[in-house]
Amino acid sequence: MTAQELSWLALWGATALYAIAMVASAVHLARVADAKVAAKARAEHKVTAAGGAANGSAESTATRASAPTTASATPALHDKANGIAKATTLMGALLQGVGVVARGVEAGHVPWSTMYEYTITGTWVAVVVFLIVQRKRDVSYLAPGVTGFATIALGLGMTVLYAQSTGLQPALQSFWLIIHVSIAIIATGIFTVGAVATVLQLWRDYRDDSELPVADAGNALTRASRRWRNWNVRVLKSWTWLEAVPAPAKLEALAFRLHAVGFVLWTFTVMAGAVWAEHAWGRYWGWDPKEVWSFVIWVIYAAYLHARTTQGWAGRRSAVLALIGFVALIMNFTVVNLVFQGLHSYAGV
């Protein structure tokens, strides 16, 4: 078996395992949410029964008698689905690591010189970051988003972005390829996990918003905006699986830590890119599209971190800024590479 065949089989195997992990983790979340909803219902029933009629005490006794049976059956189901999700995610990460290394052996250089190689390496880093965080705390609620993103990204990479390995172009034949791009990939992986946490934060925050704004007040634009928001809140309230997601404040704290680490690494990425540009092209900055977008991403995340530490911007508004930064990151990888012509156009090959 050649290195190319090994890489191909390993990456497709990892894609399949991530898809299984996504489904299993989603089932786990749904069951956890159902258990929490049932527990709330039992608690409310006990309160009602305690202050109700004379037969209320008998009903609450019956409820207490039947509760252990339901509670004891539910954790076993949770552990099975969660165990499958964790095992397949770990196996997928190991298999993807083999595929990435095999691609490097096939190419004869580090596997992140093209969009395809950046995709397979970047998604692998995102999954590894998730697994590292999971060792320290229970973040199973992030699993569907992270493994789902990895499944889609790997699938697109293998089918749309795939390119045969070739030798490095002259501009890439530098040790800065290892330093500059590897740090950018690690930052991207961390930003990806942080973006998943931020999306869940906003969903949970809007779902917990019990007071809907009056839709018929204000001008036409205001009314349309409020109706759109009300519709979204109603949809989110119908997603009972969000009961398994922590409170928005906890998600915001986790996302902030991830984004802070990613921002430090991205700062180094921009600085290392400038040094490499001076070494390769004789100038630190030339307003190349890739350089501009990398700086735009840095500015957005810097604004997010500043806004997050400012009392008036903590919560939804700073979370939206973080998502804007992640969208800019994706555009930098896709639109800038494929549409704009510049000194970094080789990255789209």
Quick one: pLDDT at residue 186?
96
Dist CA 255 CA 249 (whole Å): 10
Dist CA 344 CA 291 (whole Å): 9
Dist CA 87 CA 92 (whole Å): 8
Q: Which helix (H) or strand (E) holds 226?
A: helix 220-238
Quick one: pLDDT at residue 344?
59
Dist CA 6 CA 17 (whole Å): 16
On whether the CB atoms of residues 89 and 143 are closer than 8 A, the answer is: yes
Whole-angstrom CA distances from 267 to 212, 244, 264, 282, 301 are 40, 35, 5, 21, 10
Total Cβ atoms within 10 A of residue 56: 15
Residue position matching structure tokens 């590894």: 128
Give the N- to C-terminal CA distance of the chain in Å, as an integer: 26
DSSP annotation of 247? P
Mean pLDDT, 10 residues at a time, over the chain (349 residues)?
91 97 93 80 67 50 42 52 94 96 91 90 96 92 96 94 80 82 95 96 84 60 75 77 89 95 96 87 84 94 89 82 95 85 56
Amino acid at 240: T
On whether the CB atoms of residues 96 and 10 are closer than 8 A, the answer is: yes
DSSP annotation of 138? -
What SS3 state is found at 270? helix
138: left (phi over 0), alpha (psi -120 to 50) or beta: beta
Dist CA 255 CA 251 (whole Å): 6
E strands along the chain, which residues? none
DSSP annotation of 142? G
Quote the pTM value. Answer: 0.85
- Residues contacting residue 337 through CB under 8 Å, at least 6 positions apart: 115, 290, 344, 345, 347, 348
Quick one: pLDDT at residue 168?
76
